[in-house]
Each structure stands twice: as C-alpha cells, then as structure tokens.
C-alpha cells in the first residue's frame, strides 16, 4: 500500500531539514492512489502561446481526449449557454440550441466534437489561440469557470483512470507531451500551484484532511 499523503507532508514540509530519503512514487488519499513523484517533477502553465504550440503539434487537451460529465454539470452549462454561444456561434441554430452532448451509460454525458475533432466548446480567438467557450463565458459573467466545466477539463493535465486491480489512479498526462506541461530542470519539494489546485478540485476535503497545510507544498 502506498503511504498516506500526510507522510509526504511531514517529509517535505519546508521547515524540516531535507534528508536523503527517496521520494515515494505513489501515495493514497481516500479512494485514490496518486502518482505523486510526477507532481513534484512538473509545472503547468497554459497561455495563448502554449495553445498555439499544442494545436500546431496536435497535442491539445481540447482535441485528443474523450470527455464525459454528469447531468448536474450539463444543467449548469445550459444555464450559461447563451453566453457560451457568443464564443461558439455554431452552438445555436436560429433561436434553438444545438445539443452538444450525447448520453452514455451510467447516466453520464459525453461532449460532442467538431469535424476537426476539437471539442464542440472550443474556439480560436482573434490571436489564433485555442480557448474554451465555457471558461470564457464564465469569466465574462464573473463566475467560477470550474463550477461549470466538466471535471476532466477542469483538472487537466491531472487524469483519473481505473487499473486492472480496480485501484483509481491519479496521475499527470505526461505521455501527450503538451507544451503547457513542462518538466522542471530539477525536482524540488514543492508542487506547482496550478497542479495543486487541480488536485484540490478533484479531491476536495479529502486532500485538506490528508494534508492540513497545503500551502506548505506551494511555490
């Protein structure tokens, strides 16, 4: 069994002297097993320049992943759909909305894609940077984008999947080699704030209970 995240906190608290102890590869938080070593080794920064690199190299989070979500998130998205359609006009057909979801098993919904395989909610701004219309609409309305975005989108590049032994794994998508996820020159004792925020979005209270002072891991 992997060690608890609280053990990582004690090991990597900045006020403690760093000893030559080996970083554990995995830690357990509730029902999740986190591949924690990657979180200390990478930093995440998504900006306009990076999205241009991603789309040019076909390594964009908005174009290569299957995304599903809950009925609750679908309702929230439709609550701001008028604002979303301002960024993606094709989502409206006259006075009617185009249905951007397809129902699947377990009462979940998958996001449709465009002919170019990009997410139906993606669009290019005037600077040719790829953007999320849900995120842009939420910012325009001065509300939290992560309240509306499907969880896989909100936490990316953190990914969640089931192993053959039925463990729920949490790791970084280092295989896609997206421009926004960069390996540090040298792993240190801090988790990048953006990655830590994504962990908090996924784990919620479980993370704060396992790691009372998450500020200790931030840069």
Quote the mean pLDDT of the chain.
Answer: 77
Q: For residue range 178-205, what is the model confidence (pLDDT) as tens digits? A: 778 888 887 677 888 888 888 888 888 6
Looking at residue 17, what is its pLDDT? 31
**DSSP alpha helix (H) spans, 66-150:** 71-79, 81-87, 133-140, 145-148
What value does the mean pLDDT take over residues 206-213?
Answer: 56
Looking at residue 7, what is its pLDDT? 46
Residues 35 and 29 sit within 8 Å (Cβ to Cβ) = no
Looking at residue 175, what is its pLDDT? 80
Cis link prior to 157 (omega < 30° from 0)? yes
Q: Is 145 helix (H, G, I), strand (E, B) or coil?
A: helix
Q: Per-residue confidence at 93, pLDDT binned at 50, 70, 90?
A: confident
What value does the mean pLDDT take over residues 123-143?
Answer: 89
Q: Per-residue confidence at 23, pLDDT binned at 50, 70, 90?
A: low
Looking at residue 139, what is its pLDDT? 94
Residues 213 and 195 sit within 8 Å (Cβ to Cβ) = no
Looking at residue 215, what is its pLDDT? 44
Looking at residue 22, what is its pLDDT? 56
Residue 35 structure tokens: 């591949």
What value does the mean pLDDT take over residues 115-127?
Answer: 84
Residues 44 and 157 sit within 8 Å (Cβ to Cβ) = yes
């Amino acid at each position: 069994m992997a060690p608890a995240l609280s053990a990582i906190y004690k090991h990597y608290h900045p006020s403690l002297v760093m000893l030559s102890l080996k970083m554990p590869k995995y830690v357990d938080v509730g029902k999740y097993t986190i591949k924690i070593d990657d979180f200390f080794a990478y930093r995440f920064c998504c900006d306009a320049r990076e999205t241009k690199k991603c789309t040019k190299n076909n390594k964009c989070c908005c174009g290569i992943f299957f995304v599903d979500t809950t009925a609750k998130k679908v309702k929230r998205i439709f609550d701001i759909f008028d604002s979303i359609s301002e960024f993606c006009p094709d989502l409206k057909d006259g006075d009617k909305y185009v249905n951007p979801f397809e129902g699947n098993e377990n009462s979940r919904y998958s996001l449709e894609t465009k002919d170019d395989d990009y997410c139906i909610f993606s669009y290019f701004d005037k600077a040719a940077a790829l953007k999320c219309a849900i995120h842009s609409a939420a910012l325009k309305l001065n509300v939290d984008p992560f309240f509306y975005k499907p969880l896989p989108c909100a936490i990316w590049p953190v990914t969640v999947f089931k192993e053959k032994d039925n463990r729920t794994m949490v790791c970084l998508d280092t295989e896609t080699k997206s421009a926004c996820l960069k390996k540090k020159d040298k792993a240190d004792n801090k988790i990048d704030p953006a990655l830590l925020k994504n962990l908090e979005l996924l784990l919620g209270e479980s993370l704060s209970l396992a790691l009372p002072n998450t500020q200790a891991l931030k840069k």
